[in-house]
């Protein structure tokens, strides 16, 4: 069985933690705010996921052709090496 949000090659027994992030994506595609929506139970991994996500860039959502600020929910999985 495949776990949603994981690469096909990652097996559930390899997942060491999952954290769900709520990102505010600004009109320019930059991340304006990162919140932990569902913690992994491992604060150091939650912090690492949030720090990485703060650097991500997105194609912004659009309304009537113009870019708008939006909220995105994303799962981040930490997978142990085989």
Cβ count within 10 A of residue 31 = 18
- Domain membership of residue 44 (yes or no) is yes
Name the phi and psi angles at 72, rounded to 5: -125, 135
Q: Residues 58-71: what's their mean pLDDT?
A: 97
For residue 41, give its domain range.
15-79
**Number of structural domains found in the chain:** 1
Q: What is the pTM of this model?
A: 0.78
What confidence tier does 41 reach under pLDDT thresholds 50, 70, 90?
A: very high
- Domain membership of residue 62 (yes or no) is yes
Distance between CA atoms of residues 76 and 82, nearest Å: 18
Q: With pLDDT > 70 as the criterion, what percentage of the chain qualifies?
A: 79
Distance between CA atoms of residues 8 and 35, nearest Å: 27
Distance between CA atoms of residues 79 and 64, nearest Å: 39
- Domain membership of residue 3 (yes or no) is no
Burial class (CB in 10 A: 0-12, 13-18, 19+), 49: buried
């Amino acid at each position: 069985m495949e776990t949603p949000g994981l690469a096909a090659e990652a097996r559930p027994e390899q997942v060491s933690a999952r954290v769900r992030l709520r990102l505010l994506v600004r009109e320019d595609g930059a991340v304006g705010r990162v919140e932990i929506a569902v913690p992994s139970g491992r604060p150091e991994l939650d912090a690492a996921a949030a720090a990485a996500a703060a650097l991500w860039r997105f194609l912004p959502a659009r309304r009537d052709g113009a870019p708008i600020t939006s909220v995105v929910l994303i799962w981040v999985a930490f997978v142990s090496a085989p």
